[in-house]
Structure 1
Amino acid sequence: MTNRSTTDGSTTERSTYAADPGRRPARALLTALLGCVLPLLSVLLLAVAPPASAASLTEVTDFGSNPSGLRMHLYVPAGAGERPAVLVAVHYCTGSGPAFYSGTEFASLADRYGFIVIYPSATRSGNCFDVSSPQALRRDGGSDPVGIRSMVGYVQQHYGSDPGRVFVAGASSGAMMTNVLLGNYPDVFKAGAAFMGVPHSCFATTDGSGWNSACANGTVDRTPQQWGGLVRAAYPGYSGARPRMQLWHGTEDATLRYPNLNEEIDQWTDVLGVSRTPASTDSPQSGWTRTRYGSSGAQAPVEAISVQGVGHSLPASGMAARAIAFFGLDSSTPTDPGPGTDPTPANCRVAYTTSAWNTGLTATITLTNTGTTPLTGWSLAFTLPTGQTITSGWGATYSPAGGAVTATGLAYNATLAPGAAVQIGFQANHTGNTGKPSAFTVGGAACGTG
C-alpha cells in the first residue's frame, strides 16, 4: 500500500511503504530444516511461477535534445495498438518518474486503454521541474520543456504514436509544468490535467530562484487577458488550435494555495476564447464542485474541480481515471483489424482532390460530420504517398510534413455540427508520385470516402 504526501518547497514529499513482517520460526530445529528446504522450494517455485507481465517501466537514455539533463522512463502496455495515444505524466517535487509510475494509477489505465505513458524525471536540486526561468517559459527556450518535447518526439518516431493524441498530466511541480507545456507547445499537446498547479508564468523569477512565494501563496492576481497574454507570448505568432485544460485543487492546499485555481481558470478560458461564466456546475462526487466552461460536455474546453477540505495531496484514487476520460482516452485504442476486415467507420466522410504540376501539388480536403452529435476538437490522420512533403497548409495544422500526417482543426473550425463540413488543404512537393492517401481516420476510426 502506498501513502504519499505530495508537496513542493520546503515541505518533504515522500512515499512510505508498509511491508508485511516475515514469519519467524519458533525453534532452532525448524530454522535448520528451513535452511535445507528453502533452496529446493525456490527451484520449484521458479518452475511453476507465472511469467512476468510483458509491460514494464524502462529507461530511455538517448531521446534527443535534453538541455537540462532530464531522465526519461517509458511504459508501453502490452495492449498498445497501432498509432497509440501518448500521456506524459509529470511528478511532484522530490519525486521521480519511477515514483510517479508506482504511486499513481496512470499505468494501470494505460493497460486498460492501450496508451503509452512517458514519465520524465527532474534532476535539479529538490527534483522540481523548471517552471520559473525565462528559458522554461518560452517555446524551445532551452530548459526542461525542451527535454519533455524530445521525449514525445522519440515515442512518435520509435512507436508510431498518434501525434494528434498527445496529453500531459502532472501533480504539484508537475501540474505547473503541465500549464507550461500547454502554453509552450500548443501544437504538440491536445489537452492537459493539472493537479494542484499554478498558471503559466505565475512562478516566473528573474533572480535564478526556482521558488516564487507570491505565486505559491495565491497572491498573484491578474486579469484573464493578462494571463492569456503570457501563454500567447510563450509561442509568438501561433494561431492554431489550443489544448483543452482540466484543473484540480484542494480548498485547504497550504503549499500552492487554492486561489491559484481561479487564476488558472482565468488564464485558460481566455486562451481558449470561452466565457468565464460556467456552462455547467455539478458535484460528481461528495465534496467535489465541478465547473465547465465553453460547453457542458465531458470534454469541455476548460474543466475545474474543487475538492473541499483537501490539502496538497492530489491526485487521490479515481482522479486519474477522470483525467483520462477528459482526454477521451477511456476506450480501447483502435487497432488494425487485419487484412480482409473492414475497420469500424467513424462518423465522418472525407473528399480529397489534388491538382498537380511538375514537382508540386495542391490538395483540398473536405471533412464532413456524418454523425448525430458535434465532432469536437477533430484531428484527421492520413499517410501521404512516398515523396510527398507538405510545404504549407490552410484550415488546420499539419504535423509532420510527410509520412503519417495529422491535420488538427483550428480554433474557428475545431467543432463540426452534425451534417456540417469543413474544407482544408495544403501545398506539397512531390518526386513523381501524385497519388492520394489510401485511408483517413478521426480518433483512430476510419472515415468514409467520396
Structure 2
Amino acid sequence: MRIRRKLLLGLATTLVAAGLVAPTFQPAYAASLVEVTSFGNNPGRMRMHVYVPDNRPAHPATVIAMHGCGGSGPAFYSGSEFASLADRYGFIVIYPTATQQAGFGNCFDTWSDAAKRHDGGSDPVSLVSMVRYAQQQYGADPERVYATGSSSGGMMTNHMLAVYPEVFKAGAAFMGVPYNCFAGAADYPPGSSQCTGGSMNRTPQQWGDAVRQQAYPGYSGPRPRVQVWHGTADTLVPYSLLQESIEQWTNVFGLSQTPTSSDTPQAGWNRRRYADGSGTVQVEAYSIQGAGHSLPSGGMAAAAIAFFGLTSTPSPTTTPSPTVTPTPTTTPSPTLPPTTPPASGACRVTVAVNAWNTGLTANLTITNTGASAVNGWSLVFGLPAGQTITSGWNATYSPTTGQVTARNLAYNAAIPANGSIDIGFQVTHGGNAAKPTSFALNGASCTVA
C-alpha cells in the first residue's frame, strides 16, 4: 500500500534514550488546549497538548488522539470531533505531536525495533508518559484509558494496544495497519513498502503470534477491545489491510474469523462485530463504502467514543483544576460561529511534497491569517501538467486534473482565526513532480510558505 505523508510513521534515525525526568506541572485550564512542556520520559522527543473539559468527574477517562503524518496535535484537535465530545462526556483528550522524520515528516514510529517492544523506547514510551502525566496531574482514571488516531495515528493505535495492553482499555484505529506490519525503516517509502504495497497477506496465527511473542512476551492479562475503520476506496493504505487487522485481533482474542453479527448503522457504514462467549464485542470493524483516505469523517469519532463506553453525561467535577499558569496554545476551541470569507491575503498555504518515480503525495496546511473565523471553505489551486489526483484526505477534490477545488468535510469546516487545518492528496505523474500553485481560499488569494 502506498503511504502518504499524513499516513505513516515517523522515521527515527536517532533514538534518544532519555532518563526519567520529573514532570514540571503546567496543567491546562478547562476548555482550552494547552501544551505541556515536560511530562516525563520522552525518548521519542514528542510534544504534548492536552484538552481538559469544564465539566468532568473527579477521575475522568483519558483518550489519546493521534494525527497522521505531516500533522500535529493542535491540527488534529481543530480538525476532529474529539474535543467537542470531551465537552459533552467529560473525558480528557491528549493530542501528541510526533516529531520523528523520514522524508514524510511528523510520523509515529511503528517500525523500529525499540518501538515494537514493551518499554523498548521511542514514541510508545513517550505516549505512555503522557497518559501517566494526565493521571498524576488531573486524577485521570488509570482503568479508563483509550487510544485513537488517523492514518499514522491509526497505525500507532493498533501498535499501542499490542505493546501496552495493560495501559489501554480499548482503541479505535482509522485507516491503520496491523501491529508489526512494517519490517523496518526501509519499508516506509511510498511505492516500495511491503506493508502498504497492497499485497500484504499473513495468516491470523502469524498476526496473532506477533502480538503475543514480540510486543509484550509473557503478558497474560486482559487485552484492550479493538475497533478498526477503513474506506473501501482507500489507495494510500489499502482497504485490504482492514481484513489483516481483523485477523490479527480476532486471533489474539481467540475468536472466529466469522463475525457474530453484521449491520449497517447508517448509510455506507458496514459494521462487523466479533463477540466472545459472554457476548462482549471484542473486535468491531467498519467498512466505509466509497471512502478514500479521509477518515474519521462526521459522526465517526462519536461512534468510537460510544465503543469505548464513554457516552454517559458526567457529574460536575469535585476536583478543580490546579491554579498553575499554563502555556496556552494558539489554537482556539473548535466550536466557532459562522463568518464571512477571509479578505485577500488573509490565508497562507504551506505545501510539502514527497515524490517518487511515478507519483507523489502533497500535504497542504491551510492557515487562516485573518481576524475572523471561517466556517465552510473551498480551496482552489492549480495542479501541474501531467498530474492526476487518485485519492485524498480531509477534503473532497474535483476535478482530478488542472484547476482543482478542495472542499471541507463535515468535521473540518471551521478554520479559526490564526488557526490551521491539514489536507492532502496523492497523484500519479509522468515525470512532473512539481508542487501545486495559485491557491485561493473562498475566492481570496493565499500566500504560499
- TM-score computed with the length of structure 1 as normaliser: 0.62
SS in structure 2 of the partner of residue 283 of structure 1:
strand
Tell whether 2:236 aligns with 1:255.
yes
Counterpart of 1:315 in structure 2 is 296
- In structure 1, which of residues 83, 90, 96 is the aligned counterpart of residue 72 of structure 2? 96
Paired-residue identity, %: 59
Taking a change above 3 Å as real, the CA distance of residues 235 and 295 of structure 1, as seen in their structure-2 partners, is: closer
Q: Give, in whole Å, the separation in 1 of the partners of 2:215 and 2:34.
A: 32
Q: Structure 1 pair 206/312, CA: closer, same or farther in 2 (3 Å)?
A: closer
CA distance in 2, matches of 1:296, 1:93: 38
Q: Do the aligned partners of 2:7 and 2:151 also contact (CA within 8 Å) in 1? A: no
Instruction: Give the equivalent residue in structure 1 for 2:117.
Output: 138
User: How far apart are 1:257 and its partner, in Å?
Assistant: 0.2
Instruction: Give the C-alpha shift of residue 207 in structure 1.
Output: 4.4
Contact 1:131 1:177 in 2 (8 A): yes
Deviations for 1:207-253, whole angstroms, at most 9, x for unmatched residues? 48577612112312111111011111210110000000000000110
Deviation at 1:334, TM superposition (A): 4.8
1:234 paired residue among 215, 230, 234: 215
For the pair 1:9 / 2:4, whether they are aligned, the reply is yes
Aligned twin of 1:269:
250
Change (3 A) 1:188 1:277: same
Q: 1:59 maps to which residue?
A: 35
Distance 2:203 2:145 in 1: 29
1:183–1:235 CA contact under 8 A, matched in 2: yes
Amino acid at match of 1:300: V
Judge which range, 213-222 or 149-158, deviates more: 213-222
Aligned ranges for residues 411-422 of structure 1 at < 5 Å? none
The 8 Å contact of residues 131 and 204 in structure 1, kept in 2 or not, is answered as no
- 2:199 pairs with 1:219: yes
SS of residue in 2 equivalent to 1:216? coil
Q: Which of 105, 118, 121 does residue 81 from structure 2 map onto?
A: 105
Cα distance in 2, alignment partners of residues 334 and 296 from structure 1 = 34
Question: What RMSD over aligned residues (CA atoms) do the two structures have, in Å?
Answer: 2.3
Distance 2:115 2:189 in 1: 11
In the alignment, the residues of structure 2 paired with residue 208 and residue 217 of structure 1 have an alpha-carbon distance, to the nearest angstrom, of 10
Report the Cα distance in structure 1 between the residues aligned to 2:189 and 2:112, rounded to whole angstroms.
Answer: 7
* Separation of aligned partners in 2, 1:208 and 1:66: 25
Shift, 1:206, TM fit: 5.7
Q: Structure 2: any 5+ residue segments left out of the alignment? A: 9-28, 320-449
CA 158–208 in structure 1, closer or farther in 2 if over 3 Å, else same: same
Distance in 2 (CA, whole Å) between partners of 1:337 and 1:159 is: 11
Kindly indicate which of the two structures has a greater share of residues assigned to helix. Answer: 1
Aligned to 2:401: none
Whole-Å Cα distance in 2 between the matches of residues 54 and 207 of structure 1? 42
For the pair shown, the structure with the greater C-alpha radius of gyration is 1
**1:329 paired residue number:** 310
Greater RCO (CA < 8 Å, at least 6 residues apart) = 2
Q: 1:431 is matched with which residue?
A: none
Deviations 1:363-402 (A, max 9, x none): xxxxxxxxxxxxxxxxxxxxxxxxxxxxxxxxxxxxxxxx
Q: Do 2:182 and 2:188's aligned partners in 1 also have CA atoms closer than 8 Å? A: no
Q: Distance in 1 between matches of 2:52 and 2:183?
A: 34
The answer for the alignment partner of 1:373 in structure 2 is none
Secondary structure of the equivalent of 1:221? coil
Contact between 2:5 and 2:70, CA under 8 Å: does it hold in 1?
A: no
Residue 227 of structure 1 contacts residue 266 of structure 1 at CA under 8 Å; is this kept in 2? yes
Match of 1:164 in 2: 143
Q: Indicate if the aligned counterparts of 2:7 and 2:153 stay in contact, CA closer than 8 A.
A: no
Aligned length: 293
- 1:28-43 correspondence runs (5 A): none
Q: Aligned equivalents of 2:48 and 2:183: distance in 1?
A: 25
Which letter maps to 2:218?
G
Please say if residues 65 and 147 of structure 2, whose CA atoms lie closer than 8 Å, have aligned partners that are also in contact. Answer: yes
Task: Provide the rounded CA distance (Å) in 2 between the counterparts of 1:186 and 1:333.
Answer: 26
The 1:281/1:179 distance shift into structure 2, 3 A limit, reads same
> In the TM superposition, what is the alpha-carbon distance from 1:11 to its structure 2 partner?
7.3
Aligned residue in 1 for 2:325: none
- Asked whether the equivalents of residues 248 and 304 of structure 1 are also in contact (C-alpha less than 8 Å), the reply is yes
Decide whether the 8 Å contact of 2:169 with 2:225 is kept in 1.
Answer: yes
**How far off its partner does 1:333 sit?**
3.1
Aligned residue in 2 for 1:69: 45
Asked if the contact 2:234–2:292 (Cα under 8 Å) also holds between the matched residues in 1, the reply is: yes
2:90 and 2:227 map into 1 onto residues whose CA distance is: 21
| Residues 1:182 and 2:161 aligned together | yes
Q: Provide the rounded CA distance (Å) in 1 between the counterparts of 2:200 and 2:117.
A: 20
Residue type of the alignment partner of 1:127: N
CA contact (8 A) 1:252 1:309 kept: yes
Distance 1:208 1:292 in 2: 31
Aligned to 1:417: none
When structure 1 is superposed on structure 2, of 109-118 and 206-215 the one drifting more is: 206-215
- Measured in 2, the distance between the counterparts of 1:175 and 1:209 equals 15
| Contact 2:6 2:152 (C-alpha < 8 Å) held by counterparts | no
Post-superposition offset of 1:297: 10
Q: Check whether the contact 1:299–1:327 (CA below 8 A) recurs between aligned residues.
A: no
Q: Deviations along 1:160-193, whole A, 9 cap, x unmatched?
A: 1111100001000000000110001000000000
1:284 pairs with one of 243, 265, 270: 265
C-alpha distance 78-11 of structure 1, shift in aligned 2 (>3 A)? closer
Local SS of the residue matching 1:127: coil
Aligned-partner Cα distance in 1 for 2:71–2:5: 14
For residues 255-404 of structure 1, the aligned pairs below 5 Å read 255-294=236-275, 300-334=281-315
